[in-house]
Structure 1
């Protein structure tokens, strides 16, 4: 039986590096944001390369869930990199078949980067509101889950990955800490628009504080995002 691990992230959260990390495991297959096409079609959100992506991505949520998310049984472990804001208007009962974890990032470091791809982001684009909603829903249902922070992951990759693996009940492998630079076969079709920096990486980058200014018109979004993030971070795993 395949263990299905879904990491519900937001954008610019080191989630692609985490996916690359799990792709190094001999027992694991990975998939990159399977609900992205559905999200673009449903919301009409303006994303880089949108027209091309709508041509090449699967957009039918039922097919994505039944075939891509729940249908894969090729390896003992299946790592699903998901964006939490892609859960738009879906029956979320399929989450019962997954081990659900949350990767968060301080919006003071995330938003200044996000505007490079989405110049006019809304709260939905951060994923933080949906992350908190889903975390509370799972907790109320008695489901064990795990929140970890991008900064904490970068500061201590091995320690956080060991905690992650322990939580889901799989061994940690040292090869999870490094990979070859460049585009990878697990990349989604949107990689040319989003993955420039991670394609230069050969492992988790050293944490560097971000001190970029946010545009004044985005300050209300920043304030709301910080409030959501801080509530999530209270439950984050520390190692």
Structure 2
């Protein structure tokens, strides 16, 4: 569609990216797409470690090219190769004026030849002092839900297998991707958002983003219903849909919230030594990249 706007949000984990997608779901005639590259990485045929069984959702249809019809909410990850994701993102979404996809840059692994065509690009970042403690808490909860006992001193963020991208590389990956998109004119005006700016001033930030990418802004983006019924209209794998519907760590940050929650103001970063060694290493290695992106952020 000649009047269709497509936006790809690249995020660092723990930056409220799922909340942002929930907010944007109120845009009329829109299609939200949730972490297809992440699905390929963790659950698709090219995954590097075994994936747990997935729940089954009914009503998923594919067209003659093997691409999803309709929203495809709860599709099986077995169809999700990295090349398939590019084709799906570039598919024709008839009847939609806005297509918004959300991905984690870390799980893209620098596959720059698979960046989909036709998208504006938005980068979502947050202070490493907030990201990595939250990331460790999330991984600890996931491990403990699998019956693995974790103490605060355990290097949870250092237990990522070597064949997978390490959390400490997240800011390097998203910085390299931003530079590639800029330097190769895939988007001459990519947007960087610090999620704390978004949480502090959601109307100002969202209206500015909408203006720059060509989406009409409405105050309806500032609040939404609690729960996960909105996900039924998203294009999302059964694995991620199940996580959003049933896991504890999505409870407060995704299922129960109805608006952007203003962060507690902080005058300065905490003392690095107060964190566990694995979190310290991730913060220390990430700060130069974060500060580079922060200088270019939307204000």
TM over 0.5, yes or no?
yes
- Give yes or no for contact 1:40–1:54 (8 Å, CA) kept in 2: no
1:140 paired residue number:
183
- Give yes or no for contact 1:111–1:214 (8 Å, CA) kept in 2: no
Aligned pairs, how many?
234
CA distance, structure 1, for counterparts of residue 287 and residue 10 of structure 2: 18
- Give yes or no for contact 2:226–2:257 (8 Å, CA) kept in 1: yes
1:208 paired residue number:
264
Give 1:81's match in structure 2, choosing from 102, 116, 119. 102
- Give yes or no for contact 1:138–1:144 (8 Å, CA) kept in 2: no
Q: CA deviation at 1:89?
A: 5.4
Give 1:167's match in structure 2, choosing from 178, 190, 212. 212
User: Which structure has the larger Rg?
Assistant: 2
- Give yes or no for contact 1:39–1:88 (8 Å, CA) kept in 2: no
1:196 paired residue number:
251
- Give yes or no for contact 1:37–1:53 (8 Å, CA) kept in 2: no
| Cα-to-partner distance string for 1:123-150 (whole Å, 9 max, x where unaligned) | 7436311110011112212322010100
Q: CA deviation at 1:21?
A: 0.8
Pick closer, same or farther for the CA change 1:45–1:168 going to 2, 3 Å: farther
Give 2:22's match in structure 1, choosing from 20, 23, 37. 20
CA distance, structure 2, for counterparts of residue 152 and residue 104 of structure 1: 10
Pick closer, same or farther for the CA change 1:54–1:34 going to 2, 3 Å: farther
CA distance, structure 2, for counterparts of residue 52 and residue 141 of structure 1: 40
Is 2:228 aligned against 1:183?
yes
Which consecutive residues of structure 1, in runs of 5 or more, have no partner in the other structure? none
Is 2:167 aligned against 1:125?
yes
Instruction: List structure 1 segments (4+ residues) > 4 angstroms apart after TM superposition.
Output: 209-213
Pick closer, same or farther for the CA change 1:216–1:125 going to 2, 3 Å: closer
- Give yes or no for contact 2:132–2:282 (8 Å, CA) kept in 1: no
CA distance, structure 2, for counterparts of residue 21 and residue 155 of structure 1: 15
What TM-score do you get using the length of structure 1 for normalisation? 0.87
CA distance, structure 2, for counterparts of residue 158 and residue 217 of structure 1: 36
Query: Where does 1:12-91 land on structure 2 (aligned, <5 Å)?
Result: 12-41=14-43, 42=46, 44=48, 50-52=51-53, 56-57=76-77, 58-67=79-88, 69-74=89-94, 75-88=96-109, 90-91=111-112
What TM-score do you get using the length of structure 2 for normalisation? 0.71
Pick closer, same or farther for the CA change 1:23–1:72 going to 2, 3 Å: farther
Is 2:7 aligned against 1:5?
yes
